[in-house]
Amino acid sequence: MVVGVCRISIALHGNRSLKGKRQVIRSVKDKVKKRFNISIAEVDNHDILQTASLGMCVAASDSSHADSQIQKAVNFISAQADVTSISFELINIKE
């Protein structure tokens, strides 16, 4: 089994409220979950209004599928928002 893990930070230019940040993050999370069947959550920068950090995770039987799913989600998010950083790792779990 392979687990793909990704942390992505996005800039929320012009955002002035926590409510506005939540709306943007909820929209991105819902679209990614629905389109790619990936677990996604806000993992850091909860109190900073102009930045959001999202963590994504996918489990797969092979590394190419996990890599593909994470890359598709990252590309989708990049088209929706201003991505400032990405870190990605594939973890092989052996029996």
Domain assignments of the chain as residue spans, ordered by start: 2-92
Residue with tokens 């991505």: 83
In this structure, which CATH number among 3.30.420.40, 3.30.70.1120, 3.90.79.10, 3.40.50.12780 belongs to the domain 2-92? Answer: 3.30.70.1120
d(CA 12, CA 35): 22
Q: What is the pLDDT along the chain (95 residues), one digit of tens a residue?
A: 999 999 999 999 888 899 989 999 999 999 999 999 999 999 988 888 899 999 999 999 999 999 999 999 999 999 988 999 999 999 998 87
pTM, two decimals, is: 0.86
Three-state SS string over the chain comes to: CEEEEEEEEEECCCCCCHHHHHHHHHHHHHHHHHHHCCEEEEEECCCCCCEEEEEEEEEECCHHHHHHHHHHHHHHHHHHCEEEEEEEEEEECCC
